[in-house]
Amino acid sequence: MVAPVAHPAALHLLTPGSPAYAMLKVGAIGGIFALRFALVRRSRAQQKEGTEHHAAEVAGPVRRDPHPVSKKKKRRRRR
């Protein structure tokens, strides 16, 4: 008579091949991708903030362009 063979994953939860091991591995890989995504977004936001802040220092106060006036209105004002 042949003795039943226990699957290695039945001996310990974190043995490769067990569902718990697979879930932990998928969760760890997902966590790495999420962390990388968050860090990339954060670095982009810091770069934008740094360039806007630097541009504001160099340019000084912002001056608005005067509203454009059509040629006909310019002629009427001259008369």
User: Model confidence over 13-66: pLDDT tens digits?
Assistant: 667 777 888 898 999 999 999 999 999 999 998 888 776 655 555 555 667 777
What is residue 79's predicted lDDT score, i.e. its pLDDT? 62
- Phi/psi at 64 (5° precision): -85, 145
51 membership: H or E segment, kind and range: helix 19-59
CA angle 30, 38, 35 (to 5 degrees): 35
- What is the distance, to the nearest Å, from the Cα of residue 69 to the centroid of all Cα atoms in its chain? 44
